Structure formats: C-alpha cells, structure tokens
Structure 1
Amino acid sequence: MTEGSSPPRSTGPLLTALCVAGMLAATMQTAVIPILGRIGEQTGAGDTAVSWIVTANLLSSAVSTPLFGRLGDLRGKRNAIQVCLALMLAGSVLAAITTSLPLLIVARVLQGAVTGVFPLALSVARDAVAKEKLTGAMALISATLSVGGSLGLVAAGVLASGDSDYRNVFWLASAVGVLAIAAVAAWVPGGGAEHGRGSVDWPGAGLLGGALVLVLLPLSQGDSWGWGSPATITLFVLSPFAFLVWVLVERRAAAPLVDVGMLTHRTFALTNVGAVLMGFAMFGLYLGTSMFVQMPTGRAGYGFSASVLSAATVYLLPPALISLVAAPMGGILVKRFSGRTGLAVAGTAALVGFGSLTLWHGSTAAVITGAVIAGGALSLAYAAMPALVVQSVPLSRTGIANSINSIGRSVGASAAGAVVAAVLAATTKDSTGLPGESGFVWVFGLSAGAGALTALGALLISRTPPRPGPAAPSGTTPRVEERRPV
C-alpha cells in the first residue's frame, strides 16, 4: 500500500472501476475500424484523409502514455486517470456532435489520452491491492486489453449496422466515459504519489514523443504515402537518431522521465519485446479475421461474405469472451509458477491458434476455433507481462514502466496494420480487385511467428526474480534494484 492512502474494504469495487477504465482505453483503439468506411461516406472524405482518424489517435496515445505514467508516479495515479478519462470524454462528445473530418481528427487526438489509463490502473493495483491478491488483480486488469479491443469491434459492428449514423459509436463511448469517471472517483483511492519526488522531465517527454512519432507516423501512413516515398523513408531514417538523442538527454537529466538503465534490464527488455510481438498478433487477429470473413465468396473464392455485424458478433465475440475466462487462468498460472512461465505458455498458445488459422480457415468452425485459441493466448500474455514489469523496476517507476510496455503494444499494433495493408495489397488480383487468399495466410502465419518468438523470449528471462535492494534515502530516486516481487 502507499503511505497516506487507505485501501478500500473490498477490492471488488476498485477492480471494477479500473477494469472499466482499462477496457474503455482498449475499446477506443479498435471501435473506429469497422466504421471508417461509413465515416468516409457521411463526411465525403477519401480513404487517405479518413486514415488520419486512426493515425491521430495512435500518435496521441504514444506521446501521452509515458507522460501520464510519470505524472501518476509524481502527482497521484487517481488524478492522472481522471484527467485521461476527462480528455477522452471531451473527444467522444466532440466526435459525436460533428460531421467535420478535421474536428473528428481533433476529437481522436483527445481520445488518445485514455491509453494512459491502462498502465496507471496497473500501478494503482500494485499500490492498493494486498500482495496475495495482486497477481490475479493485475491479470484481470490486463485482460481488458484483449477483451476491450474485441468488444470495441463488436459494439461498432452492432451500432453501425444498416444505415446507422457512425456517431452512435461515439455517443456510446461518451456514456461509458461518464460511468468510468464516476467509478474512479468513487472507488479508486487517492494518494499514490508518495514514492515519487521530483518534477516531470519535459524535454525527455518531448523527445520521446517525437521519436515515437517518427516511427509510428510512417507505419500508419506508409500505405497511403507509398513505402518507397521520400517522406516514409526520411522518417524511418531519422527515427533511430531521435531515439539516440533522447537516450543522451535522459542520461544527463537530474530526474529523467525514463531511467535508461531500466530499459537494458533483461527481464524488462524481453517483456517489452513480447509486448511488441503480442501487439502485432492482436491486430493480426482483429484485422485479419475481420477482413477475411467479409471477403465475398463468389468473387474472391474464399471467405464467408459476412457483414460487419456478423464479423463482429459471430467471429470476434468468441475470442473476447474466452479472454474473460483466460484472464483469471493467467493470474493463477503466474502466481503458481511465474510470469516467465505464463508468457511462454501464452506465446505457445498464440503459435497454435494462429497456426491453426494459417492452415485451416475453410469453415466457420475452423476460423472461430483458431481465433478463440489466439484470443485466449493474448489474454494470458497480458496477464503475465505486468508481473514481469513490476518485478524488474523500482516502486516509484511503476507508472512509467507500464507505460513503456503499453507503448510496445502500440508499436506492434501499428506494425501489424502496416504489414496487413502491404501484404494484402501485394496479393491483390487485378481481375477481382480483392486480395488473394495467400495474403491472409501470410498475415496469420506472421502472427504465429510472433507467438513463437514471444515464447522463445520468455524462456530467456531469468528464472529467479531479482531481490529487492535497500531502501533509498528520503528525497532521492530509488535505483533500479529496488523492486517489489510479485
């Protein structure tokens, strides 16, 4: 527990509030995917312009997540969560009342701030939940990533069916945002800033955000700009130099946003690599499955001619439901064995699930089976990662550490979007104007490879968690050795 804050009598209400907030953060990333075409129709915008609705949210998430993570460490996690949710609510209301594409893009920038809720929720759990219940609590919160992502697609599919107004999706987000703000205010304890003393490293935050933009912008817009275009190549070339400058600045900062030495810790580094890979696999599942089943069977020679509604409810809802079951199982697995074991099992399950989709996708039952296994694997992975993160960083850096891990998932998801677009475009047949079946085989196969690499990386993590170091003197920043084992 943090000093100066009293835990609630029951963790039930606290976890409910954190899970609702975390699920909302995941939902905001995927809910617009099924309605992009509808937005283009109702705003009169072209595909390239509409793609900025996704890109703007992605860039906002990347820039704001580490900043809110550090603000939570310094100023209180509940305060930071409420600010994230308030910005999301403002963006949702703006998106719901406008038909202007520029204003909709601004709204998506505001909504992007909600991604910072997830690492903050994990930090609150670490501070407020009893040690014997912590592993299960963090696993449950982590499951909101896969569950919320799937439910975002399902909800959008239902609300956008027929000739419905795309803005219904944002009205629903606004309503859930109000509920989340009320739940956090009522059930999440205050305090939580006692371990972090200092100020926000604004230069470090700006440089990190800029470096991430140089990576994520060409990933998200490369298909529109052209992968060989000067803009795409220039941004990719500049990105490593931007990260190098950021590292040099952070090493000299008195109170850095990120302790760069923390990034080289083997457990933390491999967990973040797993986050990138699982982020790739998650969007490989969402995008690959959704697009595959909607392919018109008569013209394409494969697929199931599913509607947006059918794709969401028949094919993507089962993985979302299995994630709810897999989350507590992941918590038990991590508590009984270790986060290392949990991540290895998750990677292996992802290999099996996506491998099944790669080889057998000719029937509805086969696609649902593969998607369910893959969805459960994602939930297991997200249950294991927080346990690995918190055992490898000092207590005062929990917020920023979970933010870095969250950014890894965003980078992986962006890479998946770029790869899916490039692969499907490369296999598109001139005779039909549709991607060939081999394109989806590649998408599922690459996601299976991401699972295999995740399992391999987990096996390279040390079997023995690091021991907590001595307490840091008052007023100083604890070193990386100070960790609270989970």
Structure 2
Amino acid sequence: MSQPLAPPPGRQRAETAVVLALSLAAMIVSMMQTLVVPILGLIQSSLGASSAEVSWVTTATLLSAAVFTPLLGRFGDQHGKKPTLIGVLAVMIVGSVLAAMTDSLLWLIVGRVLQGAATAIFPLALSVLREEIPARRLPGAMALVSGTLAFGSGFALVTTGLLTRGENADYHHVFWLATGLAVVTLLTVVLLVPASRTKTGGRTDLLGALTLGLFLVLLLLPISQGHEWGWTSAPTLGSFAGAVLMAGVWSFTESRVREPMVDMRMFLHRPVLFSNLAGLFVGFGMFAQFLGVSYLAQVPRDIAGYGFGASVLRASVEYLLPSTIASLVVSQFGGVLIRKIGPRLTLALSAVIGIIGFTWLAAAHSSTPSVIGAGMAVGTAISLGYAAMPALIVAGVPPHQTGIANGINSISRSVGSAIGSALITSLLASRTIENLPAGVPPLPAESQFTLSFALAGVAFAFVLALSLVGLKRGQPAPRTEHLPAAEPAAATTAA
C-alpha cells in the first residue's frame, strides 16, 4: 500500500502555527479560572470586603463560563470559529482592563464575569483543529492544546505569587498581566488562525441556551457558595432543587426544538456522556491538588507539627510549579500515546497515575521531595486526561457538533473544579488543631489533608472505571435528525 504524500512544508508550518496559537489561547482559558485563587485574601483586605463578598470574585467567573461556553461553542460551529474566537478574546480583554483599573468590588466582579467568557475559547479551539489539521496529526495537536489547560492553571498560580510578593503587594498587577496575555493571544489568533471554511448556519437555540444556563447557574451557585451559606441552608437546598427542575425543563426543551443547541442523542452517547463524567472527576482532582498542596505548604510546622511554613510565593514556585512543568512536558507526548494505544487507554493510564500520585500524597506528605514528586505525578495524570477526553469526544460526534460537545465537557471540568474547591475548603475548615497559641488563626488538622488527597485518589479511581468499563471500543457516532444544510459541504471540504 502506498504511503500518503507528506504535505508541503508551507502547509506544515501553517498547521504548526495554528496549533501554537490555539495552545496559547487554551492557556488563557485555564489562567482565568485560577488567577485569583492565591490573592483572594489580598483583594479582601485591599477592598475592605468580607470573605463571603470576595468569594464572588471566583464564583462570578464560574457562572459566566457556565452560561457562555455552550452557547458560544455552538455559535462558533454555526457562524464561524475565528470571528467567535476574536469576539470572546475582545470581551475578555475588556473584562481584564476593567478588573485592573477598578477599586470597587462590584466592578471587579463585573470584570470577572467578562473574563469568564474565555472558557468558550477551548471548545472553539478544538473545532478549529478538527477543521484545519489532518487526521494523522489531529491527536497530537489536540493533546498539546488540551495539555496547556493544566499548564495554564499552574502557571497562573505561580505568576500571581511572583506579582504579589512583598509588603506593598497590589492585586491590580495580576489583571494587567491577564490583559497583556489576552492582547497577545488576540493578535496571534487574528494573524495565524485561518477563517472558517465551513459554517453550518441555522438558528441559535436561545431557549435551549437559557434553560441550560439557568440549570448550570443553579447547580454551580450552591456548590461554590455552600460553605458560606451553609450546606443545609434554604438557599443551598433551594438552588439544588431548582437545578434538578431546570435540568428537566432543559431536556424537555431540547427534545422539542427543531434545531437544538444540544442534540440529546449526542449528549447521551456513551463516549460523550462518560467523557463528561471523567471530566468532572479530573477537574475535582486538579483543584484538590492545587488547593491541598498550596495550603499544606503554608502551614507552619513549628506550630502545627506538620507543613512547611512557606509563603504564598514559595508555595507556588517550589511546590506547584514542578507539577505545572510536568503537565506541559507530558502534553507533548499525549498525542503519541493516543495514536498508539487510543484515547480510552490513555485516559485509563491517566487515572492509574493519578491514583498513584494522590495515594503518595495521602501517605507521605511530610517531606518536600515527596510532595513535589507526588505533585508531578498528579500533573502528568491531569495532562493525559485532558488530552484523552477531547479525542474521545471528537471521535464520537459529527463535525458540526464538535464545539458544543467540547463546550459541555469544559463545563463538566468546571463543575468538578468547583466541587473540588468547595469540598477541600470545607474539609480543611471542618476540623482544626486545638489549643493553638493566641493570635494564631485556625489551622486544619493534618488528617484533613490526608482525607482530601484520599478523596482525590478515589475520584481518579472513578475515572479508571469509566475508561475501562463505561467506554467501549468502536461505538459509532449517534445519528442525528438535525443535520444542518451546510453539512454535506463540510464533508466535501474535509474529504
């Protein structure tokens, strides 16, 4: 059998430029989610806000992402990925500038809402890759772009620590960094990403977007605010009940709309459904590592009997940066693994490494080398998991649903991250060391860190079960009754 002809060098360079541009864009996505985590205390003291009020700086971005990601992912499939990417980046720049210039908590939250739109960049980037990169290079390209998500999350924590070190720390510098990176990314996308060759067209399912958005807001709001409201309070339980109700309304709406935003057959198709469940557990594990290791590193050993007494900067650079670098390095090889053993087994391998990493953290977190080594294992697991899930989804859905399918997967990871953040924070606060010296703030009992890391290991055990039992080989994409008129042209272009 004759070997396929290699593309001309100019075409290869153009494809590489697209991958690098979209990798930078994906890095921005994850940075927006974790950028403020180390500086919430600084923002609180600078603006004179309460802990409940300042928590909205993270919650606002999460809720914004829940509303805009599926809508913009579908919009990009219908009306063009590049202009949608440019529009999202422009909105994010406006939000970053607003956050960098304001001294008002209200306007800072508004800026964070605008930054939350950045989450839609990732599914749009994967849609561009599916259209522009040939099949033989697509797994590697998707793995690299997906791997930058894990790198961006850790990079944001490290750079935030560097920018806010010293006595006169100013949180505004962090948002100016976000602005600069967003501007560079916008210029890169404008110059290097080609215009969409295929557009499915069709009407935007506003009712589906509204009901899905309300469902996600009602789900994420109590998850992120439950530790402030109380897990058994009326607002928390009422929001969860509302989420269940809106899930039913959304499903009913999408089954009756002629051109639904989310085709329910696609949503319930086994590779998509189980990849989304895996995304939830991987997102949980990522934040369990970030928060658990960061807090553990900062606990003063001379008072608590454990921990490392590190500053925020040292905790970020010494204890979190190695796992971030590991995730970036491994992302270079994710595509090779996917080509050799397939995305399902790559996800299983990710789960095994994650179980090892968190078991290591739970059993041996008393020395710096041990915490760093275990963190690097977890970073490797997260990077491989992020590489495998889009490949599973792309293989399981038709091209015109790539954006919305990966948008839902992004939301599943965000839900997992929110659960991880809320649960780890609540666990660490639920049992503290008794008889601390006067003036020392409450410190978590060491057993709470062990429990947190053990739960994250259990989360990766679920990922292993989903990959080996839930996902099966050779499952064709679901037939859809809502193929847009432009799809035959798209197929011709791909051919």
Number of residue equivalences: 476
Report whether the alignment pairs 1:257 with 2:261. yes
Does structure 2 retain, via aligned residues, the 8 Å contact 1:140–1:331?
Answer: yes
Deviations 1:431-468 (A, max 9, x none): 33211111111111111111111011100244433357
2:432 to 420, 428, 431: 428
Matched position secondary structure for 2:136? helix
Matched position secondary structure for 1:227? coil
Equivalent residue letter for 1:272: N
**C-alpha displacement at 1:473, in angstroms?**
10
1:328 to 320, 326, 332: 332
Report whether the alignment pairs 1:115 with 2:82. no
2:279 to 260, 275, 279: 275
Structure 2 unpaired stretches of 5+? 1-9, 437-441
Question: Given the two structures, how large is their TM-score scaled by the length of structure 1?
Answer: 0.95
Tell me what 1:399 maps to.
403
Report whether the alignment pairs 1:449 with 2:458. yes
Does structure 2 retain, via aligned residues, the 8 Å contact 1:135–1:387?
Answer: yes
- Work out the CA distance in 2 between the residues paired with 1:219 and 1:179: 34
Tell me what 1:440 maps to.
449
Equivalent residue letter for 1:140: L
Equivalent residue letter for 1:459: L
Matched position secondary structure for 2:204? coil
Percent of aligned pairs with the same amino acid: 43
Tell me what 1:46 maps to.
50
Report whether the alignment pairs 1:105 with 2:109. yes
**C-alpha displacement at 1:193, in angstroms?**
4.0
Tell me what 1:294 maps to.
298
Tell me what 1:142 maps to.
146
Tell me what 1:220 maps to.
224
Tell me what 1:3 maps to.
none
Tell me what 1:164 maps to.
169
Deviations 1:150-186 (A, max 9, x none): 0000010100111221110000111111100000000
- Work out the CA distance in 2 between the residues paired with 1:441 and 1:290: 14
- Work out the CA distance in 2 between the residues paired with 1:101 and 1:257: 34
- Work out the CA distance in 2 between the residues paired with 1:264 and 1:111: 30
- Work out the CA distance in 1 between the residues paired with 2:46 and 2:477: 57
Equivalent residue letter for 1:174: T
Report whether the alignment pairs 1:74 with 2:83. no
**C-alpha displacement at 1:342, in angstroms?**
0.4
Equivalent residue letter for 1:435: P
Cα 1:470–1:260 shift into 2, 3 Å: closer
Report whether the alignment pairs 1:389 with 2:393. yes
- Work out the CA distance in 1 between the residues paired with 2:484 and 2:308: 62
Tell me what 2:20 maps to.
16
- Work out the CA distance in 2 between the residues paired with 1:27 and 1:175: 13
Cα 1:421–1:89 shift into 2, 3 Å: same
Does structure 1 retain, via aligned residues, the 8 Å contact 2:396–2:477?
Answer: no
Does structure 2 retain, via aligned residues, the 8 Å contact 1:8–1:187?
Answer: no
| Residues 234-383 of structure 1 aligned to structure 2 (within 5 Å) | 234-383=238-387
Equivalent residue letter for 1:169: V
Does structure 1 retain, via aligned residues, the 8 Å contact 2:263–2:480?
Answer: no
Tell me what 1:181 maps to.
186
- Work out the CA distance in 2 between the residues paired with 1:333 and 1:32: 34
Report whether the alignment pairs 1:58 with 2:67. no
- Work out the CA distance in 2 between the residues paired with 1:252 and 1:308: 51
- Work out the CA distance in 2 between the residues paired with 1:9 and 1:339: 26
Matched position secondary structure for 1:434? coil
**C-alpha displacement at 1:403, in angstroms?**
0.2
Matched position secondary structure for 1:460? helix
Further displaced range: 210-219 or 8-17? 8-17
- Work out the CA distance in 1 between the residues paired with 2:326 and 2:353: 13
Tell me what 2:7 maps to.
none
Matched position secondary structure for 1:132? coil
- Work out the CA distance in 1 between the residues paired with 2:485 and 2:380: 42
**C-alpha displacement at 1:474, in angstroms?**
8.0
- Work out the CA distance in 1 between the residues paired with 2:340 and 2:417: 30
Does structure 1 retain, via aligned residues, the 8 Å contact 2:396–2:476?
Answer: no
The CA RMSD measured in Å over matched residues stands at: 2.1
Cα 1:386–1:7 shift into 2, 3 Å: farther
Deviations 1:107-135 (A, max 9, x none): 00000000100111111111101111100
- Work out the CA distance in 2 between the residues paired with 1:60 and 1:119: 15
Does structure 1 retain, via aligned residues, the 8 Å contact 2:397–2:477?
Answer: no
Question: Given the two structures, how large is their TM-score scaled by the length of structure 2?
Answer: 0.93
2:206 to 202, 211, 216: 202
Does structure 2 retain, via aligned residues, the 8 Å contact 1:472–1:478?
Answer: no
Structure 1 unpaired stretches of 5+? 1-5
Does structure 1 retain, via aligned residues, the 8 Å contact 2:269–2:478?
Answer: no
Tell me what 2:468 maps to.
459
Equivalent residue letter for 2:128: V
- Work out the CA distance in 1 between the residues paired with 2:228 and 2:477: 49
Does structure 2 retain, via aligned residues, the 8 Å contact 1:276–1:410?
Answer: yes
